């Protein structure tokens, strides 16, 4: 049983920061590629697909790790509303990590596109070829992306609030480098 | 947590320190949001975005809702591609290995109005989707002009604006095209073709050209700069414009259905290899006519179907969807075509109610992957 003094495990920290970089890269690539006619479009989209699948794989791994290792408890003196917001935002972030790649994969499937990861490495289609299904998923992919970015901004704001204002160890639990219980 | 930190943890921040730290948090959020907005083009309204491009294409008369925003009027076909294997030494593309591959394609005219009369179709097009047994795809959209009218997306946007319908007259501004030609001299080879090539009343007797250059990649990794053409096996029959005008709005569709009732139509897929110095990124310029050309197979068109219920309806003929062994060149038009086609596809799949299917209920359609 870990106590308040424990942070997240080393594996959890590595997964968190690696995925933070990957997800932010994904969101910037996504919003950038759909707004340009320039050659970088083809480069960006060729990164977008395998990176999205990599995030999906890591997200599944991360959920498993979280299930096994749990998370350090929030400080006892944290107001209930803030504690609830923390739990809820984490649920939303985990859900988006899983749902966003699946929506993208499903959208390409329903659009009748080949799902190319690299060269001849293709993924199978997970949905039937259907224009209306494509339209719903395509819209969802955009809306969820904006929601994802907004939730990440809230998450960053909360983390900095803990780190700079409350100074209650919550930020250190994920941010500190080195062994736990330092 | 260190003892030192325990001591400082609940030490209240001075008002100035608190304000400073809140400002840091606000600054991080603001800069992040600003960077995201910049990446999305919201801070650079002059950027030529796919949305602007496709909006311009949508504004050329008629009601394009539910339809492709360019080459909006067309017809689906199905058939096969019989590769003869001659291209295998230049490209490892699986559908160039000698065998037969299924094709879902589309004939169209380059208009923005899906209800346009066929006589508006100076440029005719053929799109194909050739599928290999391992699921790789080669999609290509080809035009019957030997060269394209512009070499880059910005010029294409200006050309599209020149074709915009003036609400006052219901027609494009007649001077706009003249101004465009005068300021874009590289469109002259296209204009010459447009003014001199004979009109015909058929999709079947036209050659369809890739226009853009691509790279064939062989087994050794060597790259060969190519363009390709579907060469008809039916000789063209010139028809005077006045005669075309009396043939009704859908003469191309009627001609295709009539011809296919008598048997399949065939095209030979000819690949042209560049020599050093031939432009890879300028579709307005033809390559010299003495370049090596290789006959790599035969396209056999067996059946035509109305687009509303046809198998091509829900495919995006993005010319950058390529198998291993074929890659895009540095032609600026290719990425622009890819993203603009995707935008058009995203719009029209969300507008299916504006383009109702007429024959089969939605749940009874065959899977598009089985041509």
Which tens digit of pLDDT belongs to each residue from B12-29? 899 999 999 999 999 999
Residue A86 lies in a domain: yes
Torsion, CA B95, CA B97, CA B100, CA B104, rounded to 10:
10
Tell me which residue in A35, A112, A125 faces B314 most closely, judged by beta carbons: A112
Beta-carbon contacts of A19 under 8 Å, excluding residues fewer than 6 positions away, are A55, A58, A59, A62, A97
A75 domain residue, yes or no: yes
pLDDT for A180 beyond 50: no
Determine the Cα–Cα distance for residues B224 and B217; give it in Å rounded to an integer.
Answer: 6
* Residue B359: predicted pLDDT: 64
User: What value does the mean pLDDT take over residues B295-303?
Assistant: 98
- Domain-embedded: residue A133: yes
> Is the pLDDT confidence value at B365 over 80?
no
Please give the distance of CA B327 from its chain centroid, rounded to a whole number. 15
Q: Is the pLDDT of residue A1 over 70?
A: no
Mean pLDDT, rounded, for A107-112 = 98
| pLDDT digit string, tens, across residues B205-220 | 999 999 999 999 999 9
Phi/psi for B332 (5° steps) reads -65, -20
Q: What pLDDT does B360 receive?
A: 54
**Averaged confidence pLDDT in chain B:** 93
Kindly state the average pLDDT of the residues B163-184.
Answer: 85
pLDDT at B364: 47
Three-state DSSP class for residue B272: strand
Predicted local distance difference test score (pLDDT) of residue B10: 62
pLDDT at B1: 43
Taking the C-alpha atoms of residue A145 and residue A26, their distance in angstroms, rounded to an integer, is 9
pLDDT category, B60, cuts 50, 70, 90? confident
> Would you say residue A181 lies in a domain?
no
Taking CB atoms and an 8 Å cut-off, how many pairs form between chains A and B?
136
- Residue corresponding to tokens 């939730």: A151
Residue B166 pLDDT level (bands cut at 50, 70, 90): confident
Q: For position A42, which CATH number holds?
A: 1.20.950.20
Bigger pLDDT: B371 vs A165: A165
Chain A positions touching B25 (Cβ under 8 A) are 157, 160-161, 164-165
Q: Do A160 and B25 touch (CB under 8 A)?
A: yes
pLDDT at residue B340 above 90? yes
Is pLDDT at B369 greater than 80 in this prediction? no
From the centroid of its chain, how far is CA B44? Answer: 26
For range B337-364, the mean pLDDT: 86
Q: Could you confirm whether B67 is annotated as catalytic?
A: no
Give CA–CA dist B53/A169, Å, rounded. 51
In a domain, A5, yes or no: no
Write out pLDDT tens, residues A20-41.
Answer: 999 999 999 999 999 999 999 9
Q: Looking at chain A, which residue has its C-alpha nearest residue B19?
A: A165
Rounded Cα distance between B83 and B94, Å, is 10
pLDDT at B12: 87
- pLDDT at residue A101, as a whole number: 98
Give the nearest partner residue to B316 out of A5, A111, A130, using CB atoms: A111
State yes or no: pLDDT of B70 exceeds 50. yes
Q: Given B5, B28, B349, which is nearest A135 (Cβ)?
A: B349
Q: What is the mean pLDDT of chain A?
A: 93
Residue B218 CB coordination number (10 Å): 15
Q: Is residue A1 part of a domain?
A: no
pLDDT of residue B9: 54
Which residue out of B10, B67, B71, B254 is catalytically annotated?
B71
Find the range with the poorest average confidence among B81-90, B175-184, B338-347: B175-184
Interchain pair B367, A128: CB under 8 A: yes
Q: What is the pLDDT of residue A178?
A: 55
pLDDT level of residue A120 (50, 70, 90 thresholds): confident
Please answer yes or no on whether B316 and A112 come within 8 Å at the CB atom.
yes
Number of domains present in the structure of chain A: 1
The A residues from 122 to 181 touching B (CB cutoff 8 Å) are 122, 125, 128-132, 134-135, 138-139, 149, 153, 156-157, 160-161, 164-165, 167-169, 172
Judge whether A112 lies within some domain.
yes
For residue A60, being part of any structural domain is answered with yes
Name the closest residue on chain B to residue A36, using Cα atoms.
Answer: B49
List, in order, residues 6 or more apart from A10 with CB less than 8 Å away.
A179, A180
Q: Is the pLDDT of residue B7 over 90?
A: no
Residue A134's domain spans which residues?
Answer: 10-175
pTM of the full predicted structure? 0.92
Residue A7: the pLDDT is 85
Give me the mean pLDDT over the B319-344 stretch: 98
d(CA B191, CA A23): 48
Q: What is the pLDDT of residue B107?
A: 98
């Amino acid at each position: 049983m870990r106590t308040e003094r424990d942070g997240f495990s080393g594996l959890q920290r590595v997964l968190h920061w690696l995925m933070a970089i990957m997800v932010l890269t994904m969101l910037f690539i996504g919003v950038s590629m759909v707004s340009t006619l320039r050659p970088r479009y083809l480069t960006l989209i060729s990164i977008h697909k395998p990176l999205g699948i990599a995030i999906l794989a890591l997200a599944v791994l991360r959920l498993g790790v979280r299930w096994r290792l749990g998370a350090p408890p929030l400080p006892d003196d944290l107001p209930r509303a803030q504690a609830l917001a923390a739990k809820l935002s984490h649920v939303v972030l985990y859900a988006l990590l899983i749902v966003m790649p699946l929506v993208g994969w499903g959208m390409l499937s329903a659009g009748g596109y080949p799902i190319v990861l690299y060269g001849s490495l293709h993924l199978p289609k997970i949905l039937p070829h259907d224009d209306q299904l494509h339209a719903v998923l395509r819209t969802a992919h955009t809306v969820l992306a904006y929601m994802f970015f907004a939730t990440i901004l809230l998450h960053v704001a909360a983390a900095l609030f803990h780190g700079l204002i409350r100074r209650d160890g919550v930020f250190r639990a994920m941010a500190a480098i080195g062994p736990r219980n330092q | 947590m260190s003892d030192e930190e325990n001591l400082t943890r609940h030490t209240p921040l001075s008002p100035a320190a608190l304000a400073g730290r809140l400002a840091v948090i606000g600054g991080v959020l603001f800069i992040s949001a600003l960077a995201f907005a910049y990446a999305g083009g919201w801070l650079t309204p002059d950027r030529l975005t796919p949305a602007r491009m496709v909006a311009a294409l949508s504004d050329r008369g008629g009601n394009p809702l539910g339809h492709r925003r360019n080459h909006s009027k067309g017809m689906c076909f199905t058939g096969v591609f019989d590769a003869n294997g001659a291209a295998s030494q230049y490209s490892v593309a699986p559908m160039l290995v000698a065998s037969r591959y299924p094709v879902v394609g589309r004939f169209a005219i380059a208009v923005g109005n899906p209800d346009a009369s066929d006589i508006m179709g100076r440029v005719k097009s053929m799109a194909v989707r050739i599928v290999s047994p391992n699921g790789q795809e080669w999609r290509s959209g080809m035009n019957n002009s030997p060269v394209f009218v512009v070499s880059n997306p910005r010029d294409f946007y200006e050309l599209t604006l020149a074709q915009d319908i003036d609400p006052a007259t219901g027609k494009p501004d007649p001077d706009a095209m003249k101004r465009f030609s005068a300021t874009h001299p590289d469109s002259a080879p296209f204009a010459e073709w447009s003014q001199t090539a004979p009109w015909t009343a058929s999709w079947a007797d036209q050659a369809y050209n890739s226009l853009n250059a691509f790279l064939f990649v062989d087994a050794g990794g060597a790259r060969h700069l190519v363009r390709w053409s579907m060469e008809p096996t039916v000789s063209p029959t010139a028809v005077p414009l006045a005669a075309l005008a009396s043939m009704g709005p859908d003469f191309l569709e009627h001609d295709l259905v009539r011809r296919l009732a008598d048997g399949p139509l065939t095209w030979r897929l000819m690949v042209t290899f560049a020599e050093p110095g031939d432009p890879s990124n300028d579709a307005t310029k033809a390559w010299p006519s003495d370049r090596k050309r290789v006959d790599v197979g035969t396209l056999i068109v067996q059946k035509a179907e109305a687009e509303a219920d046809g198998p091509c309806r829900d495919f995006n003929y993005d010319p950058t969807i390529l198998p291993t062994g074929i890659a895009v060149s540095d032609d600026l038009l290719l990425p622009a075509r890819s993203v603009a086609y995707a935008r058009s596809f995203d719009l029209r799949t969300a507008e299916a109610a504006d383009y109702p299917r007429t024959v089969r209920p939605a749940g009874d359609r065959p899977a598009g992957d089985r041509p």
